[in-house]
Structure 1
Amino acid sequence: MTGTNNNVPVGIIGGTGLTSLSNIQITGEETVTTAWGEPSSTLVRGQLGDQPVIFLARHGNPHRIPPHQVNYRANIQALHDAGARVLVGVNAVGGIHANMGPAHIVIPDQLIDYTWGRASTFFEGELEDVTHIDFTWPYDQEARQVLIDAARAASLSFSGFGVYGATQGPRLETAAEIRRMERDGCDIVGMTGMPEAVLAAELGLRYVSLGLVVNWAAGKTDHIITMAEIEEAIAQGMSGVRQILERSMASLGQLALTPRSS
């Protein structure tokens, strides 16, 4: 999908390894607050190609907020209030599926939530009515297809499917936990996929995850997971993530003009 430029920005939430975008043409930076508190970082407005974007560093910049302490509600609310209607969450993940090793890119289509105790909904407190949303398909299908098409156009090694298992953190998982997650059907494991996805859905935003595998999950190799191997995978794979973002912006911007799909 292509089209002319519009003024509706695409929101990009950067995770580990993507605290900033070097190729964004910055046009402004805003410090904001919301009814849920302050987001993780300032909102950086700019252009990727001809498409207006808003970039937010999920863990702060510098990278200092652990996954279980990210104010997800403030982050999603701030991007919504700033005008974003499509969000791309960039996630560093561990590989469980045999084909999803370090530096591999995954565009997941499903998720399982293993987190606990996180503020995970806007619909609580003094409500007039109890609200339930459909979450059958946690990621926007049209936005997923845009990322898949961009990855193909860039001739990248990637998987256009995958079940994202969201764990609590900040510790990594045990080998037994990964075996359980694999039995559950998980292909990748991360710590930030929820409640980010459901909060976006509650506000009617199109949300899609762009995952970069930065290590094999616990027990998938005969050695412990080190920061050195994670950093190496980020160095190898993040250029592909950036290529997908650049190639997909115009089409994502067009999707921002229509309501979220299921």
Structure 2
Amino acid sequence: MAKAVLGVIGGSGVYDLSLLTEVEELRIESPWGEPSANPIQGFIGGTRVVFMPRHGAGHRLGPSDINYRANIDVLKRAGVTDLISISACGSYREELPPGMFVLVDQFIDRTFARKTSFFGAGCVAHVSFSDPVAPNLVARLARAAAEEGVPHVVGGSYVCMEGPQFSTRAESVAYKAMGASVVGMTNMPEAKLAREAELPYATVAMVTDYDAWRPHEVGVGVAEILQVMRENGDKARRLLARFASEFPQEHEACPIGSDRALDFALVTAPEHRDPDLLKKLDAIAGRVLRPS
């Protein structure tokens, strides 16, 4: 079995993991361009952790400026076997107030200005994505949250909008009526790319505010959100410390097969595959592209 390496992508409010020991900055080049930052490697207990700040140093990258492909590729090259996303979000539910952590199990992708796949002309692939979140990671996150007294719920749909503007009231009411739980700007195409990279993935969506669906209420304000983000960041670090310290030393097979997502995904015949694209896919798809 492979040694487990935990990847953590920190979103708004989680820009570092000060709880890491034996810290080392990794300098890894990606054929997909520049990642948000050089990832930081360290240990929590006996678990090796690789941390990537999604928005870069000083939150210099907006949601649509992030090179999601480079981020996932670099984490894969760093040896990550399982990936946790920490993300701020707005709530569509009264029972999901600011400060609540939602361990989502579904996504609704409303982005339109981002590269959504490593594959394309010259090497076409279609991965299964009906269940986008690894249930074993969610179960471990829920247990860690309970042990740390972090308010949380398991399950819910995350709407990923393009941003950077917040929702109109009409949009917010519509997604609430669809049954969505939270809204954010960063988990797509991140989750899709993680699946293509055969990385089991789970999201901790940290509620910062109620979205604009509430009648007779002023819309979302940045000042209030930043205060809740700081409080959420402290809880997220406690949760991650517990989660990582109890993480298995050997990689667990994903119950839904996300760590074998490419087994039957490639549809381009070998003789028609683009050699230049194949070179870029060495880390992402090398397992299925290498001659047996």
TM-score range, shorter chain: over 0.9
Partner of residue 233, structure 1:
228
Moved more, 230-239 or 89-98: 230-239
| Distance of 2:134 and 2:54 partners within structure 1 | 20
Partner of residue 260, structure 1:
254
Cα deviation for residue 149 of structure 1 reads: 0.8
| Distance of 1:150 and 1:114 partners within structure 2 | 31
Residues 55-70 of structure 1: pairs in structure 2 closer than 5 A: 55-70=51-66
Residues 88-237 of structure 1: pairs in structure 2 closer than 5 A: 88-127=84-123, 130-220=124-214, 222-237=217-232
| Distance of 2:151 and 2:118 partners within structure 1 | 37
Pair member with larger Rg: 2
Deviations 1:194-227 (A, max 9, x none): 0000101111111000111111111326013222
Assess if the C-alpha contact under 8 Å between 2:13 and 2:232 holds in 1: no
Cα deviation for residue 97 of structure 1 reads: 1.4
Give the SS at the match of 1:220.
coil
- Identity of paired residues, percent? 32
Assess if the C-alpha contact under 8 Å between 1:101 and 1:216 holds in 2: yes
Deviations 1:121-146 (A, max 9, x none): 1111322xx32111111010110110
Partner of residue 87, structure 1:
83
Q: Are positions 1:27 and 2:23 aligned together?
A: yes
Deviations 1:96-154 (A, max 9, x none): 11111111111101111111121001111322xx3211111101011011001111111
Assess if the C-alpha contact under 8 Å between 1:122 and 1:199 holds in 2: yes
Assess if the C-alpha contact under 8 Å between 2:33 and 2:70 holds in 1: yes
Amino acid aligned to 1:217: D
- Give the CA RMSD over aligned residues: 1.6
Amino acid aligned to 1:240: K
Deviations 1:19-45 (A, max 9, x none): 111211242102322111111001101
Q: 1:209 to 1:198 in 2, by over 3 A?
A: same
| Distance of 2:4 and 2:84 partners within structure 1 | 14
| Distance of 1:92 and 1:241 partners within structure 2 | 11
| Distance of 1:64 and 1:253 partners within structure 2 | 34
TM-score normalised over the length of structure 2: 0.83
Q: Are positions 1:49 and 2:41 aligned together?
A: no
Assess if the C-alpha contact under 8 Å between 1:7 and 1:52 holds in 2: no
Deviations 1:51-83 (A, max 9, x none): 110000100011110001110000001000110
Assess if the C-alpha contact under 8 Å between 1:26 and 1:44 holds in 2: no
Give the SS at the match of 2:64.
helix
Cα deviation for residue 8 of structure 1 reads: 3.3
Deviations 1:163-207 (A, max 9, x none): 100000111111110111112221000000100001011111110
Cα deviation for residue 251 of structure 1 reads: 4.3
Amino acid aligned to 2:220: I
